[in-house]
Amino acid sequence: MAEPLFINRRTAAVLCGCSVYTLRRYDRDGKLPNRRVGDDGVVLYPAADLVAAGLLDPTSVPGGPGIDRSSNAAPTDLRRRLAEVEARNAELTARLARAEDEVAFWRDAYSRRESVA
């Protein structure tokens, strides 16, 4: 029998569309009973537990129903989701840089105002 698919907490949160804290709460409440903790402290959840808890669509699980089992490549929808997340990351990184520039500007303007007074 094949080894069940285990997913680390951060990846599981992305795939499930929830936060890491939601997974921790489900874990604490006993809804994810078969988790493992690796030697490096990384928490791993079996995909079957995530599906059973209603967090993960079974068709999105590699090797699950509706997935081509002959391919080791990630399903197309996961590639699309990864591209969306990477694009959003780039957008937020640019917004953060602009916000940091604006904060620096206003700090400089405020310090000049203080030195004149």
Q: What is the pLDDT of residue 26?
A: 95
CB 57, CB 17: distance < 8 Å:
no
All structural domains of the chain with their residue ranges: 1-69, 74-117
Sheet with 36-37: list strands edge to edge.
6-8, 43-46, 36-37
Tell the residue number behind the tokens 């303007």, with chain if given: 109
The pLDDT of residue 78 is above 50: yes
pLDDT tens by residue, 10-39: 988 988 889 999 999 999 999 999 999 988
Cα end-to-end distance, the chain, whole Å: 78
Q: What is the pLDDT of residue 63?
A: 55
pLDDT tens by residue, 48-65: 899 899 998 877 765 554
Instruction: Count the neighbouring beta carbons within 10 Å of the beta carbon of residue 19.
Output: 11
Higher confidence at residue 17 or residue 80? 17
pLDDT tens by residue, 86-114: 888 888 889 999 999 999 999 999 988 87
The matching CATH number, chosen from 1.10.10.10, 3.60.20.10, 1.10.1660.10, 2.40.430.10, for 1-69 is: 1.10.1660.10
